[in-house]
Amino acid sequence: MKSPGNRWLVVAGALIIQLCLGAIYSWSVFVNPLKEVFFYTTTQTQIIFSLALATFALTMIFAGRLQDKKGPRIVATLGGIVLGAGYLLASFTGGSFPLIALTVGVIGGAGIGLSYVCPIAACVKWFPDKRGMVTGLAVAGFGAGAWIFAKIASSFIDAYGLLTSFQYLGVIFMVLVVVGAQLLRNPPAGWKPTGWEPPESKSEGSFVEDFEWRDMIKLKQFWMLWFMFVSGAAAGLLVIGILKPYGVHSGLSAAAAANAVGVLALFNGAGRIIWGTASDKIGRKNAMTLMFLLQGVMMLALINMGSTEMTLSIAAAWVGFNFGGNLALFPSTTADFFGTKNVGINYGLMFTAYGVAGIAGPILAGNVFDITGSYMWAFIPSGVACLIAAGISLGLKSPQQVCNTIHGAR
């Protein structure tokens, strides 16, 4: 069966969408303006960020199921409209904390959640031969979007003020996400790339049974992956939420600290592609073990790396690179372990780990700083959790590998 069109157009649509959705990762550029203009506490700024992330993750459950039934184009289009509307409404709030939490946090987060799963689900179906690489590429735009929109949002805030910036961003998000959504589609049933055959049962990527979500959540592999995802995502989101203020608190200029935000965003995008591609070659398990080990070490080292632009940029690059890997490895591993037929709802449920991390990481950082005046006691537990996740990854086996082991023992 031939492909009806160029499958790389789906990747192009995915990148356009993800560039806009990734703007949420530039949140730290809004932190000081909210504190200075509207007198928010650090915790309040992180509550908005956490609300956006948690709503994003919860909405993905509904969005994943809907796109499995209706296809990715309709759901992603709806997401673009909702995301844009959230930011447009924020421009009329007068800076009210509850209203910005509602508009940017809840409505904007829902828009991200509706759109995010659609390009991922479409791409893993179009590229069974390059699942890790294309998943990383599809979500790389999310990381790159943070770098682009950190600069755009900062320039808008400087030129027009905070509330007008929300208005301009809302229009940009709505237009671009809706345009990108029109490029998404699913392949015909049974389609596969010319000359490609599914691998025999020689790796964790060979598992082909399509689990329903009710069966998936009964498996220990789901919960092992879920805890690992919480640990890795919490570390990254913690740093993303406070990177600029952490640099300023450590003695850097606002410009130098903002540069680190851009560095993190670039390496976040690069990490998605590189970790995804590497996992196709060395296996998801080996890639995740190494990724969590590296991230755990850096979270512990980060305590002493905020005082110079060079060390903060190195830390930002390291954290961003490994954090980005989570967003490439977990969707591809979900497809590997539990099949692609229901990958929308299945990854939506897996992604609830990201929602938990989005609450735990940023709010932990905000509370720790408000109470102690330091971020140290946020970095340490996050680093330990990543090291534990690396240990869990060492013992990870797919459902297919478990079945093969049991049958071989008989």
163-172 pLDDT tens trace: 999 999 999 9
Cβ count within 10 A of residue 185? 18
How many structural domains comprise the chain? Answer: 1
| Per-residue confidence (pLDDT) for residue 118, from 0 to 100 | 93
Nearest CA to 201 out of 2, 409, 63, 399 is that of 399
Q: Give me 220's structure tokens.
A: 């220990």
Question: Would residue 352 count as lying in a domain?
Answer: yes
| Any domain includes 192 | no
Give a yes or no: residue 194 inside a domain.
no
Per-residue CA distances from 271 to 7, 277, 329, 385, 405 (Å):
23, 10, 10, 20, 33
User: Tens digit of pLDDT per residue, the chain (410 long)?
Assistant: 444 578 899 999 999 999 999 999 888 889 989 999 999 998 899 899 889 988 998 998 899 889 888 999 999 999 999 999 999 999 999 999 999 999 999 999 999 999 998 998 899 889 888 888 888 887 888 878 888 898 899 999 999 999 999 999 999 999 999 999 999 999 887 788 887 777 654 444 444 578 998 999 999 999 999 999 999 999 999 998 888 889 988 888 888 888 888 888 889 888 988 998 899 899 999 999 999 999 999 999 998 888 899 999 999 999 999 999 998 899 999 988 998 888 888 998 999 998 899 888 888 888 888 888 888 888 999 999 999 999 999 999 888 776 655 445 44
Q: pTM of this prediction?
A: 0.77
Q: pLDDT at position 405, please?
A: 53
Output the pLDDT for position 208. Answer: 54
pLDDT at site 402: 67
- In 176-315, the DSSP E strands lie at none
Question: Looking at residue 1, what is its pLDDT?
Answer: 45
Q: Is residue 122 part of a domain?
A: yes
Contact 241, 362 (CB under 8 A): yes
* 147: in domain: yes
Give the domain CATH number at 178.
1.20.1250.20
Asked if residue 258 belongs to a domain, the reply is yes
Q: What is the pLDDT of residue 227?
A: 97
pLDDT at site 376: 86
Residue range(s) defining the domain that contains residue 244 = 8-187+200-409
pLDDT tens-digit readout, 45-58 = 989 988 998 899 89
Judge whether 331 and 135 are in contact, CB under 8 Å: yes
Q: Are 251 and 242 in contact (CB under 8 A)?
A: no
Helix, strand, coil abundance in the chain, percent, nearest 5: 80, 0, 20
389: in domain? yes
